[in-house]
């Protein structure tokens, strides 16, 4: 018997919550729907989930705060925000909190399903990875199986997309990569939001490698980036 992936879905709009849950159930997922952030967090602490789907504007505990709490409990579980908030600042804040993606309402259920399956597939692959999944980068070590980066004895837990971006850079070290190449390979598309997301992730990766003199991410203005490893 195949175990269905469990999704913690938090949405206070009763109609949207019902319709989205029903559609995802038809796609083969087990969806646990909560109507506020507090009840969702209590449930998260007591049950096991494979992915989180959060609205941003929630009663009792907003989606951003909920994501912060979830990340303290589990740094690996994929988090996707679904929100009517369209400001770029809101989307960037979601990513900085450790979310893996941000979908704006109204959304297409097929697009949502595709995003969910991408992250669940990566999660299954990462869990199946062996210790040989370690990649040496300068004086740092990237472990794709455990989603962590170790530099100078300091271990940093990574989100799926952070690990995927570092891995992609590592496979193409010391090569000039255009923004379009990076976005297509890691984000699966090249739009305005993906481009802003890349900027956020580049800044984050630079902080991760800041103490490693052998690694740098160079911005070639108008051309792209070079992930330099000496």
Phi, psi at 82, each rounded to 5°: -125, 120
pLDDT (tens digit, 9 = 90+) per residue, 142-189? 998 788 899 988 898 888 788 889 999 999 999 999 999 998 888 776
Q: 2-38, pLDDT tens digit by residue?
A: 578 999 999 999 999 999 999 999 999 999 999 999 9
Q: Give this prediction's pTM.
A: 0.67
Q: 64 to each of 54, 59, 185, 191, how far by Cα in Å?
A: 9, 12, 27, 23
Task: For residue range 62-113, list pLDDT tens digits in order.
Answer: 998 999 899 888 877 889 988 876 666 666 777 777 777 888 888 889 889 9
Q: Which domains does the chain have, with CATH numbers?
A: 6-128 (3.40.50.2300), 131-229 (1.10.10.10)
- Which residues on adjacent β-strands are paired with residue 194? none
Alpha carbon distance 91, 102 (integer Å) = 6
The strand pair at 6-10 and 51-55 is best described as parallel
């Amino acid at each position: 018997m195949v175990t269905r992936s469990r999704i913690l879905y938090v949405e206070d709009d009763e109609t949207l919550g019902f319709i989205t849950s029903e559609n995802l159930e038809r796609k083969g997922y087990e969806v646990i729907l909560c109507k506020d952030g507090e009840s969702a967090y209590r449930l998260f602490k007591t049950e096991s989930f494979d992915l989180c789907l959060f609205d941003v504007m929630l009663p009792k505990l907003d989606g951003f705060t909920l994501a912060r709490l979830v990340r303290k409990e589990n740094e690996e579980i994929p988090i996707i925000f679904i929100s009517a908030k369209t400001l770029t600042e809101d989307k960037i804040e979601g990513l900085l909190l450790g979310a893996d993606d941000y979908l704006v309402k109204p959304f297409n259920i097929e697009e949502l399903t595709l995003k969910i399956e991408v992250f669940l597939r990566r999660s299954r692959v990462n869990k199946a990875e062996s210790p040989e999944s370690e990649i040496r980068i300068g004086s740092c070590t990237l472990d794709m199986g455990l989603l962590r980066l170790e530099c100078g004895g300091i271990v940093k837990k990574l989100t799926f997309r952070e690990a995927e971006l570092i891995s992609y850079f590592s496979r193409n070290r010391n090569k000039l990569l255009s923004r379009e190449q990076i976005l297509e390979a890691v984000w699966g598309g090249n739009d305005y939001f993906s481009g802003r997301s890349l900027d956020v992730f580049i800044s984050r990766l630079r902080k991760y490698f800041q103490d490693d003199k052998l690694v740098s991410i160079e911005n070639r203005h108008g051309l792209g980036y070079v992930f330099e490893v000496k």
